[in-house]
Amino acid sequence: MTYRQTTVRPIAGALGAEISGVDLSAPLDDASFADIHAAYLEHLVLFFPDQRLDPEALIALGRRFGELEAHPFLPNLKDHPEVVLLQKKETAETNVGNGWHSDMSFLETPPAGSVLYALDVPPYGGDTLFANMYLVHDSLSDGLKQMLGGRSAIHDYTRVFLEAARRGRTSASMEDIEAARDEMPPVEHPVFRTHPETGRKLLYVNPFFTSHLKDISPDESRPILEYLYQQTAKPESTCRYRWREHTVALWDNRCTQHYAVNDYHGHRRTMHRITIRGDRPF
């Protein structure tokens, strides 16, 4: 790709690039937005160091990419419900996102993307891993692709959030989470999703929210899903990012998964996140 307004530096062979030459606190002009959008589709996750974004600027940035939506269970900022507060305090043992997942795949229309802004980062640790789900799909054997092609999987929010409520890791109570079942029943999504902008096939199951393959029992589904998850974690399909304060990340939630590493005990890590509404996978 040739970029007119920005500098794009890939950070790994699988996915990920750092972007310079743009100030995200100001409205993006059309040329800069076109560069960023093209890099977003090419590299799947983008990192913008040395940014200064208050919640209003973060919301404005997200709205440049689409309509925003609030998370149903994670804590948000009181005056800005679109902004999720992701914070692990010094005394906490667990963090949010400590496992491979695609954000909110339990929705009928999962997010198209997410934007994360680093406020406090630990002196070491606290990295985020990202996986390229195009590459994972392409690495599977033709026989497995044939077996799973056209098949759906069931995604269910209670797999993670009921346990999170038990441990006090969400702003919602167990009663609230169980009561949300009527509004958010388990949903079906294709095992192999087609990206709506690139037309490429990708693997769309994750250990956080995928409960089983449709018409296959959970026990029978488990070894198949576990094999797929092992492919997601292969180093050749991933990148790892070491956060610095005031870095912004933008990732394509449709074709990536991510993993927030919980290896900074005794230190604080604070992030603001917004979520860009997506469409129904096909």
**Can 103 be counted among the known catalytic residues?**
yes
- Candidates 43, 71, 103, 155; catalytic one: 103
223: Cβ contacts below 8 Å, ≥ 6 apart: none
Q: E-assigned strands of the chain?
A: 7-10, 17-20, 45-48, 68-69, 76-77, 80-88, 113-120, 128-132, 152-155, 187-190, 192-194, 201-203, 210-213, 238-241, 248-252, 256-260, 269-276
**Can 101 be counted among the known catalytic residues?**
yes
Tell me the three state secondary structure of residue 189.
strand
- Candidates 43, 258, 269, 272; catalytic one: 258
**Can 258 be counted among the known catalytic residues?**
yes
Q: Which residue has the tokens 């993670």?
A: 160
DSSP H stretches of helix in 85-186: 133-139, 142-148, 158-166, 174-179
- Candidates 35, 43, 71, 101; catalytic one: 101
Q: Are 97 and 259 in contact (CB under 8 A)?
A: yes
Residue 232: its H or E element: helix 218-232
Please, what's the b/e burial string for 101-126 (b: 16 or more CB within 10 A of its CB; e: otherwise)?
bbbbbbbeebbbbbbbbbeebbeeeb
**Can 151 be counted among the known catalytic residues?**
no
Instruction: Please give the single-letter amino acid code of residue 53.
Output: L
How many residues are given for the chain?
282
Catalytic residues: 101, 103, 258, 273
